[in-house]
Amino acid sequence: MTTTPLSSIDLFASALHIHPNGNIRVAERRMTSGDSGAWQIATFHVETDADVHADHWEMHPEAEEAVCCLTGSVRLYLRPASPGGIQDMVRLQAGHAVIVPRGRWHRLELDAPSDLMSITLRHGTRLEKRTDTH
């Protein structure tokens, strides 16, 4: 059995990757597809809509995503399921989370500077520039 020295991990600088074999590794945070097959837990301090890529839709085809608001307040929008439909919106206050369904396009906008946590399998993640306007 190998042992790893215990050390503190800055969750705002790194991500945790949880592998199917039960191993957890510290890794670089990625917003796009990863090929490791690991679930990513990533924490972010965000100040502006640009910090959450509010001008892009994001979609994870292989897993649901837990979007957690640790501090502050954000709005999570789900792209309409059919053309001409209405965006669904969920407001997240500090201490609240939402589970985004697998394969559902979504995006965030801030109400206030916030600390967020994302938990998902990033493999196959896609980003698409928004063409709709406010």
pLDDT (0 to 100) of residue 118: 96
The total domain count for the chain is: 1
Whether 121 is covered by a domain: the verdict is yes
Whether 19 is covered by a domain: the verdict is yes
CATH assignment of the domain containing 44: 2.60.120.10
pLDDT (0 to 100) of residue 4: 65
Whether 67 is covered by a domain: the verdict is yes
**Domain that residue 106 falls in:** 15-129
Whether 95 is covered by a domain: the verdict is yes
Whether 79 is covered by a domain: the verdict is yes
pLDDT (0 to 100) of residue 32: 64
Whether 1 is covered by a domain: the verdict is no
pTM of the model: 0.89
pLDDT (0 to 100) of residue 54: 92
Whether 8 is covered by a domain: the verdict is no
> What stretches in the chain show pLDDT beneath 50?
1
Q: Distances in Å between the alpha carbon of 130 and those of 56, 101, 106, 122, 123?
A: 5, 19, 11, 20, 21
Whether 134 is covered by a domain: the verdict is no
